[in-house]
């Protein structure tokens, strides 16, 4: 009786795995990806740099201080934006890899076992 239930659960879990992977598992991965992107944006602070783009640094309110502050903040904003979009690209690649991984593994197993 124990072995019958044990093997039945193993078979049902094996059959349910692809359904879970592409439904609830994928939702969990998307939630993780969204949280990761939000956390990275918060860490990089792009919104804060945009909000303070025209605020002079170090209280230098003359035209030289404002122009130097603007140029440096634009440069810093460009670098931070590049890093942020690089992170978004990496996260999207990981989500895509999550979707393709079982298909590639199944294809590899089928190829190995059919060619042997």
Distance (Å, whole) CA 21 – CA 23: 6
* pLDDT at res. 116: 67
Long-range contacts of 111-115 (CB under 8 A, 24+ apart): none
Instruction: Find, among 92, 84, 88, 72, the residue nearest to 47 by Cα.
Output: 84
Structural domain spans, the chain: 2-115
Q: What is the pLDDT along the chain (116 residues), one digit of tens a residue?
A: 767 777 778 888 888 888 999 999 999 999 999 999 999 999 999 999 999 888 888 878 888 888 999 999 999 999 999 999 999 999 999 999 999 999 998 899 899 888 86
d(Cα 61, Cα 64) in Å, to the nearest integer? 8
């Amino acid at each position: 009786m124990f072995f019958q239930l044990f093997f039945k659960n193993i078979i049902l879990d094996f059959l349910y795995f692809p359904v879970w992977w592409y439904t609830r598992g994928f939702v969990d991965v998307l939630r993780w990806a969204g949280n990761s992107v939000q956390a990275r944006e918060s860490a990089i602070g792009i919104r804060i740099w945009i909000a303070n783009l025209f605020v002079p640094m170090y209280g230098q309110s003359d035209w030289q201080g404002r122009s130097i502050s603007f140029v440096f903040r634009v440069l810093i904003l460009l670098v931070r934006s590049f890093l942020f979009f690089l992170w978004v690209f990496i996260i999207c690649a990981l989500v895509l890899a999550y979707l393709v991984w079982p298909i590639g593994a199944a294809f590899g197993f089928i190829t190995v076992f059919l060619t042997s």
